[in-house]
A and B are shown apart, each in its own frame.
Chain A
Amino acid sequence: QSALTQPASVSGSPGQSITISCTGTSSDVGSYNYVSWYQQHPGKAPQLMIYDVSNRPSGVSNRFSGSKSGNTASLTISGLQAEDEADYYCGSYTSSSTHVFGGGTKLTVL
């Protein structure tokens, strides 16, 4: 039950695009298309931004997109905006019927 691997921090200027990677194993990310991404602002509960690798819940901006290749999933945010500054976590269902999250990535909008 090791956490998925994410970069600790990423940054970008308004209008730019950034990508956050999430690396797991063949027991989680690599085996299932049940990778999700969550945005969390300080003091708030997480909010689902992407589910099942690349699907956006209703109400989430189409500036957010997801993809997966092998054991690594990615979240891309295009047209960065100040309100995108937050912590981002990936999560995946696992072969043990459990769930595992990444360590989190702090996004700074310069």
Chain B
Amino acid sequence: EVQLVESGGGLVQPGGSLRLSCAASGFSFSTYWMSWVRQAPGKGLEWVANIKEDGSEKYYVDSVKGRFTISRDNAKNSLYLQMNSLRAEDTAVYYCARGVLRYFDWGQGTLVIVSS
């Protein structure tokens, strides 16, 4: 059974940083693109970033370019999202998802609140 478990969310002040993690199990992690998708409270889904199987390609939504960095550690079956210069509009539940063309599997999400 595929499992994706996010962690690392919490309350952070504007301008602060946070690192999200996603622990993957139940599939061959190193052979899949992985993605981060977020959902602001009461709003729709927004794709954030994706990363190729070997980490050699990374893509971001314009609103986080230069502030967020997606990475992975295939030896640890883990996906990460380093978030710097956080803004109030980054407040959301952040989901990790398996894939790039479509998302068969999602984690339960981790809540990030950016507020003073």
- Which residues in window 57-104 of B have CB below 8 A to A? 57, 59-62, 95, 100-104
Smallest CB-CB separation from B95: which chain A residue?
A: A45
Question: What is the 8 Å Cβ interface bit string for chain B, positions 37-68, against chain A (1 contact, 0 not)?
Answer: 10000001111001000000101111000000
* B101 neighbours in A (Cβ, 8 Å): 34, 36, 52, 93
The answer to whether B44 and A46 have CB atoms under 8 Å apart is no
Interface residues on A, range: 20 to 34
Q: Are A36 and B95 within 8 A (Cβ)?
A: no
Given contacts A38-B103, A97-B59, contact A45 B108 (CB under 8 A): yes
B44 and A3 contact, CB distance less than 8 A? yes
Give Cα distance in the complex from A103 to B46, angstroms. 9
Instruction: Please measure, in the bound complex, the distance between the C-alpha atom of A68 and the C-alpha atom of B4, giving whole angstroms.
Output: 31
Most buried by A among B101, B102, B109: B102
Complex interface: chain A residues within 8 A of B104 (CB)? 48, 51, 57
Q: Does B35 contact A (CB under 8 A)?
A: yes
B45's partner among A46, A57, A97, A98 (CB-CB below 8 A) is A46
B62 with A89: CB separation less than 8 A: no
Q: For the complex, count residues of B whose C-beta is within 8 A of A.
A: 22
Instruction: Say yes or no: B57 contacts A46, CB within 8 Å.
Output: no
Residue A104 is within 8 A (CB to CB) of chain B in the complex: yes
Residues of B within 8 A of A101 (CB): 37, 44-47
Say how far A83's CB is from chain B's closest CB, in angstroms.
19
Q: For residue B109, which residue of chain A has the nearest CB?
A: A45
B37 CB to closest chain A CB (Å) equals 8
Q: Are A48 and B109 in contact (CB under 8 A)?
A: no
A96 proximal to B (CB < 8 A): yes
CB of A21, distance to nearest CB on chain B (Å): 15
Distance, CA A102 to CA B54, complexed state (A): 29
Contact yes or no, B100 A99, CB < 8 A: yes
**Additional 9 contacts, C-beta under 8 A, given A89-B45, A102-B44:** A34-B102, A36-B102, A45-B95, A45-B106, A47-B106, A98-B50, A98-B60, A99-B37, A101-B46
> Which residues in A have some Cβ–Cβ distance to B below 8 Å?
1, 3, 34, 36, 38, 40, 45-48, 51-52, 57, 87, 89, 91, 93, 96-104
